[in-house]
Amino acid sequence: MRGMNSSCVDLIYLDPPFNSKSNYAAPIGSQAAGAEFKDTWTLRDVAIAWLDLIENKYPALNRVIRAAMTPSDKSYLIYMAIRLLEMQRLLKPTGSIFLHCDPTMSHYLKTLMDAIWGRNCFRNEIVWHYQTGGGSKRWFSKKHDTLLFYTAGENYKFNGASVPRSEKSLERAKNPKGARIKSDNTLKMATDVWTDIPAMNPMSNERVGYPTQKPLDLLRRIIEASSNVGDVVLDPFCGCATACIAAEQLQRSWVGIDISPKAAELVGLRLREQVGLFQQGPHRTDIPQRTDIEPLRKYNHPENKTKLYGEQKGNCNGCKAHFKIQNLTIDHIIPKSKAGTDHLMNLQLLCGRCNSVKGDRGQEYLIARLAA
């Protein structure tokens, strides 16, 4: 995502890991065989320096992450936050984002989305209710997922969606005295509770065996509701490519991103079998080069120092003492030895003492030393 231009996407749908404390793998012999991922999180799974960056640049977001009840939840939220920040940059001012989750982390993710997008950009918490096998004698059976629907601003695209009316409503329409709708009006506007889209049937023709595969009808509804023909749809956790296939069927352009090489194979397979296309399109494993920004300045460029001095109000980002600009030094929050970049987002000003203590280590080392 870092290599994509800003404001280039009309709709984002993401179905990320849920922090379910489980590991998933596609069955041997299925089309998705070889696809697997773990959904168990520790602080070893994320660079602690990312938390330092969030702490320094996004205080509201930092408060949400600090409120997490367990180290696992905290790790998961850091992982999600840094990706959602990139998605915010990519979304057009008229764009929308749908975050697919379940009750495991939906409460945390909603506050995370509020901190990034703003509460005024929240539109719906959609309940996707489905019937699957199994039940519980110790609590009410868990039979729904949640879709958090946010927009980039007030001027967003929304086409809505229609669903069939209930048999009871249609029967009432046949009675002239009790009718409030015409008898041939068999559809109504969808609400924020979706009960008409079933979960994946094990025998469905569209099933490829991917462990968390979602039905095409679900993605078609989202894409039709919040984008138009020719728009760009992004799925940054594309897995078995359901969002990509739905977008192709609905004549949208699309981008799918996934950490697993199997995802690209599944895109090609499903495009051939379910769309009838034999040309997959470009498959990239490199990071694209952005064309909407000037070449990155050297980290110690005077303009960077002036901007940072204003952002930090003249204070050292370590000891927080106030200094004149000439007594502060530009430093990387995430060191370049740990893949830190020269982007302004990853830069800070430190006084001579703090810069000496930190050296070429991460910001977490300086914070720990100052607190000792």
Q: Of 325 and 335, which is predicted with more confidence?
A: 325
User: What is the model's pLDDT at position 35?
Assistant: 47
Residues 33 and 88 in one domain: yes
User: What is the model's pLDDT at position 204?
Assistant: 81
User: For residues 17 and 211, what is the distance between their CA atoms, to the nearest angstrom?
Assistant: 11
Residues 97 and 180 in one domain: yes
Residues 198 and 338 in one domain: no
User: What is the model's pLDDT at position 24?
Assistant: 38
User: For residues 175 and 197, what is the distance between their CA atoms, to the nearest angstrom?
Assistant: 29
Number of domains in the chain: 2
Residue 206 has pLDDT above 80, yes or no: yes
User: 232 with 165: CB under 8 angstroms?
Assistant: no
Q: Of 192 and 258, which is predicted with more confidence?
A: 192
User: What is the model's pLDDT at position 363?
Assistant: 82
CATH code at position 256: 3.40.50.150
User: For residues 119 and 137, what is the distance between their CA atoms, to the nearest angstrom?
Assistant: 37
What tens digit of pLDDT does each residue of 161-170 get? 999 887 777 7
Label the pairing between strands 187-189 and 328-332.
Answer: unpaired
Is 221 among the domain residues? Answer: yes
User: What is the model's pLDDT at position 48?
Assistant: 63
User: What is the model's pLDDT at position 182?
Assistant: 65
User: For residues 79 and 90, what is the distance between their CA atoms, to the nearest angstrom?
Assistant: 18
Residues 194 and 340 in one domain: no
Residues 264 and 318 in one domain: no
Residues 267 and 306 in one domain: no
Is 282 among the domain residues? Answer: no
User: What is the model's pLDDT at position 70?
Assistant: 87
Residue 253 has pLDDT above 70, yes or no: yes
Strands of the 144-151 sheet, one edge to the other: 193-194, 122-129, 144-151, 91-101, 9-14, 232-235, 253-256
User: 199 with 143: CB under 8 angstroms?
Assistant: no
The helix/strand/coil state of 19 is coil
The helix/strand/coil state of 367 is helix
Comparing 46-50, 194-198, 247-251, the range with the smallest average pLDDT is 46-50
User: For residues 284 and 301, what is the distance between their CA atoms, to the nearest angstrom?
Assistant: 32
What range defines the domain where residue 349 resides? 302-371
User: What is the model's pLDDT at position 106?
Assistant: 93
Q: What is the residue type of 19?
A: N
Residue that terminates a domain, selected from 231, 259, 275: 275
Both structure tokens of 323? 């200094």
- Through-space distance between the first and last CA atoms of the chain, rounded to whole angstroms: 38
User: For residues 356 and 217, what is the distance between their CA atoms, to the nearest angstrom?
Assistant: 57
Residues 69 and 178 in one domain: yes
User: What is the model's pLDDT at position 178?
Assistant: 58
DSSP 175-188: STTT-SS-TT--EE
User: For residues 123 and 113, what is the distance between their CA atoms, to the nearest angstrom?
Assistant: 11
Confidence of residue 20 (pLDDT cuts 50, 70, 90): very low
User: What's the predicted TM-score (pTM) here?
Assistant: 0.81
Q: Of 237 and 34, which is predicted with more confidence?
A: 237
For residue 143, count other CB atoms closer than 10 A to its CB.
14
Residues 266 and 319 in one domain: no
Both structure tokens of 153? 């601003």
What tens digit of pLDDT does each residue of 34-66 get? 445 454 545 555 556 677 778 778 888 999 988
Nearest to 262 by CA among 26, 91, 52: 26
Is 280 among the domain residues? Answer: no
User: For residues 170 and 15, what is the distance between their CA atoms, to the nearest angstrom?
Assistant: 35
Is 17 among the domain residues? Answer: yes
Residues 310 and 265 in one domain: no
DSSP 180-236: SS-TT--EEE--SEE-SSPPPPTT-TT----TT---HHHHHHHHHHH--TT-EEEET
Is 2 among the domain residues? Answer: no
